[in-house]
Amino acid sequence: MAQGRSGIRGSRIGSGPMGEAERGDLAPRKAVSFWCGNGHHTQPSFAIEAEVPETWDCPRCGLPAGQDRDDVPVAPGSARYMTHLGYVRQRRSQEDGEILLNEALARLRGTL
């Protein structure tokens, strides 16, 4: 059986000298801080000429993060959970509900 020896043993595809001379100079960059609603801090780097976005997705929790630590953006569609009764109360007033309740009780009692 042949010994599995190869001339590229111990190296990986794409490996090679990783110096500035081969890859060129990096563009000047600036680091911008973002904070999410959970208090996570992230600091991505942007090119100096690039337009910095107002919000950035937090890499830890996925919530939108803003540049102001004290005024973080709210996630879109983060409405609180409502029960069926909560939705009914949005559509009807208390007086309408009492009228409907009295009609239903009268129908059950057979007086209507």
Mean pLDDT of 65-81: 84
Report the CATH superfamily, name and number, of domain 26-78.
RNA polymerase-binding protein A (2.20.28.270)
Which of 44, 43, 47 is CA-nearest to residue 25? 47
Residue 12 counted as an annotated binding residue? no
Give the Cα separation of 58 and 72 in Å (integer).
11
Residue 40 counted as an annotated binding residue? yes
Residue 73 counted as an annotated binding residue? no
Mean pLDDT of 6-10: 58
Distances (CA, A) of 85 to 3, 70, 91, 92, 93: 76, 35, 10, 10, 12
Residue 58 counted as an annotated binding residue? yes
Is the pLDDT reported for residue 7 higher than 60? no
Mean pLDDT of 14-43: 80
Sheet holding 34-36, edge to edge: 41-42, 34-36, 64-66, 55-57
Single pTM value for the model: 0.50
Query: pLDDT category, 23, cuts 50, 70, 90?
Result: low
Q: Considering only residues 72 and 19, tell me which one the structure prediction assigns the higher pLDDT.
A: 72
SS3 content of the chain, % helix, strand, coil (to 5): 25, 15, 60
